Amino acid sequence: MWLVFALLSAIFAALTSILAKVGIEGVNSTLATAIRTGVVLLMAWGMVFLTDTQGGISAPSPAPQTVHLSAAPRRLPASGRKRSARPPRQSD
């Protein structure tokens, strides 16, 4: 079955390339990119329905838990407030 999908993928890639070179001459490059993207999107959804796997859309798996070290929160003082840049006032 994977061979069929590989062949279909090659055919759709060729179709996208042909459309890019022949079918949309004289069109703004941004519009041409949008058209090619639309063709690829239609073919991808066609594969979803061809393989009858659209039922998996209603129940997605939970997202994996990831840790982003570069976005780690800063530690706050025990009071829970950020420290001010100026020294505390001294009462007389």
**Could you read off the pLDDT of 17-72 as tens digits, one per residue?**
776 677 667 777 788 778 778 888 998 899 888 888 887 777 666 777 776 666 55
For 9-75, the three-class secondary structure string (H helix, E strand, C coil) is HHHHHHHHHHHHHHHCCCCCHHHHHHHHHHHHHHHHHHHHHHCCCHHHHCCCCCCCCCCCHHHCCCC
Residue 39 · residue 15 · CB < 8 Å: yes
Q: What is the residue type of 68?
A: H
pLDDT in tens, 65-78: 776 666 555 665 66
- The structure's pTM equals 0.41
Residue 16 has pLDDT above 80, yes or no: no
